[in-house]
Amino acid sequence: MTTWLLIVGVGLFTYAIRLSFILFFSKAEKLPPFLLRGLRFVPIAVLSAITLPQLLLPKDVIDLSLRNPRWIAGILAALVAWRTRNVFLTIVVGMAGLWLLQLLF
């Protein structure tokens, strides 16, 4: 029973967070321009902060050796993304690269 309550609680909390600026704070209309400029960097900063640890820290310790093929596969994927701008291709090449490296090392 408490688990269900917890889930609903987390769900509502999460929803409120997502709704925050869209509904509640929209009355705070005109943000100062320098803050607006900052908003532009939100997707880049957040997604990089999520992703880089997943590439470099397979077991919570920085591992740049060949035993952690993720950062190499990640660089490969970044190159593909850079050149082709194709999401599907990037994911496929990245996974293939990872599997290949895992086989080899």
* Residue appearing with tokens 């820290």: 57
Regarding 64 and contact with another protein (CB under 8 A), the answer is: no
Number of residues that bind another protein (CB under 8 A): 67
37 binds another protein (CB under 8 A): yes
Name which of 17 and 104 has its Cβ closer to another protein.
17
Residue from 1, 53, 68, 104 touching another protein (CB under 8 A): that is 53
For residue 38 the two structure tokens come to 């900052």
| Min separation Cβ 104 and another protein, Å | 14
**Residues engaged in binding another protein (CB under 8 A):** 2-11, 13-15, 17-23, 25-26, 33-34, 36-57, 60, 62, 70, 73-74, 77-78, 81-82, 85-88, 90-92, 94-95, 98-99, 102
